[in-house]
Chain A
């Protein structure tokens, strides 16, 4: 799938999506077909790597406020590799009764790979945000996604968030999740989050990473696996997920050689 046409030069409009579209040409060279800044995030190429493009999603506006609609379109062409990094996390602030949205659409063509190293998504007290991640993978496409949701800044119970993920592989649903954390009373029930405020995950889509079993690893029904950790505090979990993400990423690379 192709992104929308490149916008004319000039400041991004509030509704503009951030677009990152990368391809790999016949000679095997990677190129960014489109890098368009949206209202919130600007894609900035990092030092080139021989076998992939590395792009940073740099925040251009203070986090999410009521009425904000952050949109992000990422597409990876056949056989291309893209690494998305986020220099900083995102905070959804007190929406004072309003709501906001964060919507990402990812399309990965056959043999394409995306490694998205997401930084914490913090849902501050009073925020009310809908986050959706729609991933479409062609056969042989892969995605590795590191993702952390944080309810509340330090000492807060946290705002309301509903984080939905839908990944389709080869036309079939591979992973559908609806983390409905809108109602604090419900989400704090035993079995949902209990006292936990941080939900960190590393999700592999399109392939099951090999390697030693992690106690919280689950293999999906289709090609994919996930490790999700919950905690009341961030630091220990962050280190563990970083190590796991790195492990799965390297294994992916080794397999590629």
Chain B
């Protein structure tokens, strides 16, 4: 199971609602981001929000493997580091899809039942930690999955928002490798929820607020 699971986690076709998410690209494009700037946007994400998300997923995975399972500390730490309400809502909506999948795969697993006790709903990294525990995915694979997913989400959304040669998007992801590796290492080094990084991306937050007020949207956020 654990051989295939990391690929499942990182696969955009995993039916957990991720196709409704552009990881901030649609709001960025509305604010004027061009196709040429996408590699820079990927780099920005890897140095800010993705560090927090990957580290939170790893913390949640560790929490999922303890007895009893208590996600509250990591969920609260993550919520305090996600001050922008639409971004918390998007994370909770995406987490809901992951939670639904985890429930289907292992409804009685303590890592899954503990998710249901969280109110408000678990944020996506928390549910990914739980799913990782259910599937037997290790910390490093999980962190890589979160980081890769972010890059692929932006690159795929770009095909709809800033159309161009789809092969470009593969090159963007490969070019982001060094920054991605650094992000994974940083995420793995986090020991406690209090240490959870909180690298604020002010423009991304602003764009998310603008997107939330917009009527004609393709993506959730």
The answer to A–B direct touch (Cβ < 8 A) is: yes
Where the two chains meet, the residues of A that have a C-beta atom closer than 8 Å to any C-beta of B are 164, 172-180, 186, 189-194, 196, 199, 215-222, 226, 228, 230
25 A-B pairs, CB-CB below 8 angstroms?
A: A164-B198, A172-B80, A174-B80, A176-B77, A177-B200, A178-B197, A178-B198, A178-B200, A180-B200, A186-B44, A190-B28, A193-B202, A193-B203, A215-B209, A215-B213, A216-B206, A218-B83, A218-B84, A220-B85, A221-B76, A221-B83, A221-B120, A228-B205, A230-B202, A230-B206
Total A-B pairs, Cβ < 8 A: 97
A192, A196, A199, A220: the one within 8 Å of B83 (CB): A220
B88 to A221, Cβ gap below 8 A?
A: yes
What size tier do the contact residues of chain B reach? 35 or more
Inter-subunit contact A186/B85 (CB<8 Å): no
Among B12-20, B35-43, B107-115, the stretch that binds chain A is: B35-43
Establish whether residues A190 and B44, one from each chain, have CB atoms under 8 Å apart when the complex forms.
Answer: yes
Per-residue 0/1 for B94-113: is the Cβ within 8 Å of any A Cβ (1 yes, 0 no)?
Answer: 00000000000000000000
Contact partners of A216 in chain B: CB under 8 A: 206, 209
Contact (Cβ within 8 A) B198 A176:
yes
**Are the CB atoms of A221 and B79 closer together than 8 Å?**
yes
| A173 adjacent to B80 (CB under 8 Å) | yes
Cα separation A218 to B207 with both chains bound (whole Å): 12
Q: Is B169 an interface residue (CB 8 A)?
A: no
Q: Could you tell me if A177 and B81 are in contact, using CB atoms closer than 8 angstroms?
A: yes
A228 to B, closest residue via Cβ: B202
**What separation, in Å, do the CA atoms of A189 and B204 have in the docked complex?**
11
A-B pairs, top 6 by smallest CB distance, nearest first, are: A221-B79, A173-B80, A189-B44, A191-B44, A191-B204, A178-B198
A contact residues around B210 at 8 Å (CB): 215
Residue-wise, chain B 39-79 has the 8 Å CB interface mask toward A (1 for contact) of 01101110110000000000000000000000000001101
Cβ of B82 within 8 Å of any chain A Cβ, yes or no, is: yes
Residues of A within 8 A of B205 (CB): 218, 228
With a cutoff of 8 Å between Cβ atoms, the chain B residues found around residue A179 in the complex are 200, 202
The answer to whether B209 touches A218, judged by C-beta atoms less than 8 angstroms apart, is yes
By a CB distance below 8 angstroms, the chain A residues around B213 are 215
Please state if B37 and A190 are interface contacts (CB–CB under 8 Å): yes
Selected from A173, A186, A191, the residue in CB contact (under 8 A) with B28 is A191
> Any chain A CB within 8 A of the CB of B199?
yes
Bound CA span A79–B134, Å: 49
Q: Is the CB of B41 within 8 A of A191?
A: yes
Not counting A196-B202, A230-B206, a sample of 9 additional A-B residue pairs whose C-beta atoms are within 8 angstroms of each other reads A164-B198, A177-B81, A180-B199, A189-B41, A191-B24, A218-B205, A220-B85, A222-B79, A228-B202
Query: Is residue B164 contacting chain A, with contact meaning CB distance below 8 A?
Result: no
Contact A177 B198 (CB under 8 A): yes
Contact with A along B195-221 (1 / 0, CB 8 A): 011111111111101100100000000
In the complex, A190→B194 CA distance in Å?
A: 28
Closest B residue, CB atoms, query A178: B198
Identify B201's interface contact among A175, A192, A215, A218, CB under 8 A: A192
Residues of A within 8 A of B45 (CB): 191
A175 to B44, CA, bound (A): 21
Partner of B206, one of A174, A177, A228: A228
Chain A nearest CB, measured from B74 CB (Å): 11
Query: What chain B residues lie within 8 Å of A217 (beta carbons)?
Result: 209
B203→A190 contact, CB < 8 A: yes
Assembled-state Cα–Cα distance A215/B86 (Å): 12
Contacts of A222 in B (CB 8 A): 79-80
